Copies of this chain bind each other. A is one copy, B any other.
């Protein structure tokens, strides 16, 4: 779960990490008022969950009231990489001499947290990581002990941070790590961590992603969760409880529904393999409750791009006849089936299941390969 820059900075400030003076604004008037309060220059920053906001015109530096009004007017309400901007952070512009990067994340390969520090702050750190991996110093943390003070210092010195700053940066890194751990974060980054002419250090931008699976123990963070209202279909998916990564909209014409991420991905791959193009990824998970099946169908039916739907279920513990009844019940909820639906059932009692299915409403195929090919063909037919 991502939280906004202003929320992350709130957490940082509370933990004792210095942040620029700032306030959130939801209207142009509010933004101008706040900007006037903070002495100019001031930055007006779109609060949306996308990277590269600056380049996309979502961050503007303003020198006076007039410019502030203009910038706030431009940014509020704009569409930024598909995201609607309804909030801006109005923030003191920090006069910096240097930009650093610090971050904490989980290294999945190692199974343990890693702290990262670089003198190459203020730019896309992923690019730095790829082009010049040695420009980022890394220190793995033993999750049993947490970050030792010496580790914070070590990674800061290894990154080549100036001796005069090293102690302060190490101390901020330690605080960031503890916040990361205490909040069940997945990523916590400060980029840039600005250094002023007086060697003050300020967290000028912040990324803070929280492990969605751990929200139950962080009610304060859970409150910050927002439905991604930027795409109607994704909003609908969320409403139907296909949360997170269970629904991904793509650009093709074959709608795909299945159970289990690996099997659904494989279905996508097969659509591609047989010359089609997937319209979405939709994993409805275990079981086959009629309502969930109906919701899945409604979601894919709502996708204008999808011209046909392949429904691929491997029964597992759940019996195929139960799944078939679920699908029949789900289909009953539609007055009309708007797009060709190809169903393939496998696993326990699959044959019984296929007999139960209403072949007037859906096309039944025995193998995954046949089902996918039928769906690709059906989509092509609709197209033509």
Residues on A facing B (Cβ under 8 Å): 142, 144-145
Alpha-carbon distance between A145 and B144 when the two chains are bound, in angstroms: 5
Enumerate 3 A-B pairs (CB-CB under 8 Å) in ascending A order.
Answer: A142-B144, A144-B144, A144-B145
Q: How far is the CB of A113 from chain B (nearest CB, A)?
A: 14
Give the number of times this chain occurs in the complex, counting copies: 2
Q: How far is the CB of A345 from chain B (nearest CB, A)?
A: 42
List, in ascending order, chain B residues with CB within 8 A of A145's CB.
Answer: 144
Closest 3 CB pairs of A and B: A144-B144, A144-B145, A142-B144
List, in ascending order, chain B residues with CB within 8 A of A144's CB.
Answer: 142, 144-145
Q: How far is the CB of A226 from chain B (nearest CB, A)?
A: 33
Alpha-carbon distance between A144 and B112 when the two chains are bound, in angstroms: 15
Alpha-carbon distance between A383 and B142 when the two chains are bound, in angstroms: 65
List, in ascending order, chain B residues with CB within 8 A of A142's CB.
Answer: 144
Alpha-carbon distance between A142 and B142 when the two chains are bound, in angstroms: 14
Alpha-carbon distance between A142 and B144 when the two chains are bound, in angstroms: 9
Alpha-carbon distance between A334 and B142 when the two chains are bound, in angstroms: 59
Alpha-carbon distance between A144 and B145 when the two chains are bound, in angstroms: 5
Output the nearest chain B residue to A145 by Cβ-Cβ distance: B144
Output the nearest chain B residue to A142 by Cβ-Cβ distance: B144
Alpha-carbon distance between A19 and B203 when the two chains are bound, in angstroms: 45
Output the nearest chain B residue to A144 by Cβ-Cβ distance: B144
Q: How far is the CB of A250 from chain B (nearest CB, A)?
A: 43
Q: How far is the CB of A217 from chain B (nearest CB, A)?
A: 13
Alpha-carbon distance between A209 and B46 when the two chains are bound, in angstroms: 54
Alpha-carbon distance between A30 and B144 when the two chains are bound, in angstroms: 49
Alpha-carbon distance between A31 and B194 when the two chains are bound, in angstroms: 61
Q: How far is the CB of A99 from chain B (nearest CB, A)?
A: 35
Output the nearest chain B residue to A146 by Cβ-Cβ distance: B144
Alpha-carbon distance between A145 and B145 when the two chains are bound, in angstroms: 7
Alpha-carbon distance between A144 and B142 when the two chains are bound, in angstroms: 9
Q: How far is the CB of A7 from chain B (nearest CB, A)?
A: 29
Q: How far is the CB of A182 from chain B (nearest CB, A)?
A: 14
Alpha-carbon distance between A163 and B142 when the two chains are bound, in angstroms: 36
Alpha-carbon distance between A144 and B144 when the two chains are bound, in angstroms: 5
Alpha-carbon distance between A204 and B142 when the two chains are bound, in angstroms: 39
